[in-house]
Amino acid sequence: MSKKKLVYLFSLRNAAADLAGQQVPYKGELRYMPSPLEYLVEQLNHTDLGAKWSLEAIIYDDDPESPRDRDKLGRFGFKPQADGLWIYPQNLSVQGVPLNNLLEPIPSTYRKLPLAHPGRTQGKQAFERRLKARLDDIGADLVLLDGLLVILDELVRPGAPYRGRIVNIHPGITRLDSPYERRGATATLDALWCARGQKVTNWTTMQAQPTPPLFKTGASFHLVDNGIDSGEVIVDSLNTDIHPDDTILELRWNNFHHSLFPTMRDGLYQMHELLCEVEG
């Protein structure tokens, strides 16, 4: 089977919120918080996943001209600094290539505009055109989204060239028929508050209502369509226990290690098989 070209697409501001690459408080001690990207690199370097996939680029959509993005990234900044924080170890390499050499920005600059601004739709289209041009240049076989805080549109419409070749690793179950379904950007928070017997209906006002507690969460590796975490599920798992007194970072750490990391690994194995079958 041939090695396929993989592109990793994410938002730095999501990794910064997780304190990726840092020691984080965990039940009275400190634990290292690896990002999904760092786990992926480990798998490509040390398992036969590296014989199936070549990581060609790591693209982020954060905008240095956005005050909001600058605030969210804080001390992490928009690129590695010799004396600063970063989301992975500065000397990390993948398949013999320094990870920093693969890092490149394609900013989603349209997000600076108000939602009702007439230029926002055109700006989003321009962003996706830039992204598609780069993917075409690379010859990407698969695009893996991790914590990308924008919704793709034209790239994943029915009939689009990358439809069926863009996948997402999501920190929650996305099947609507599951009582543990947690779609959207607040999936981890939703799971944590559910374990406390509360369903938050408005995260701005923290309005909530009682709900029967559930003490599990998981992860989904799914195709990306025009909805929010609504694409076909390739692999999912429900292997993370929740304790009501968990912090958000404690639950993120647990869910990464028990559900999200193995689901991402298994999903990449399956997508390689599917792409090879399509090629015949």
C-alpha 216/C-alpha 214 separation (Å) is: 6
Domain contains 181: no
Residue 93 has pLDDT above 60, yes or no: yes
**Looking at the 3D structure of the chain, how many domains does it have?**
1
Domain contains 197: no
In which residue are the tokens 């919704």 written? 151
pLDDT interval class at 1 (50, 70, 90): low
Domain contains 109: yes
Letter string b/e over residues 96-124, b meaning 16 or more CB atoms within 10 A of that residue's CB: eeebeebbeebbbbbbbeeeeeeeeeebb
Expressed as residue numbers, the domain containing 128 is 4-176+217-279
Q: What's the angle, vertex CA 138, arms to CA 132 and CA 143, rounded to 5?
A: 60
Domain contains 168: yes
Domain contains 183: no
Per-residue pLDDT tens over the stretch 191-230: 999 999 999 999 999 999 999 999 999 999 999 999 999 9
- CATH no. for residue 48? 3.40.50.170
Residue 280 has pLDDT above 80, yes or no: no
Residue 52 has pLDDT above 80, yes or no: yes
In which residue are the tokens 């015949």 written? 280
| DSSP element (H, E) containing 96 | none
Domain contains 208: no
Domain contains 65: yes
Distance spanning both ends of the chain, measured CA to CA: 11
Handedness of CA 30, 244, 251, 210 (dihedral sign): negative
Closest CA to 96 of 132, 134, 131, 55: 55
pTM: 0.96
Per-residue pLDDT tens over the stretch 218-274: 999 999 999 999 999 999 999 999 999 999 999 999 999 999 999 999 999 999 999
C-alpha 127/C-alpha 145 separation (Å) is: 16
Domain contains 192: no
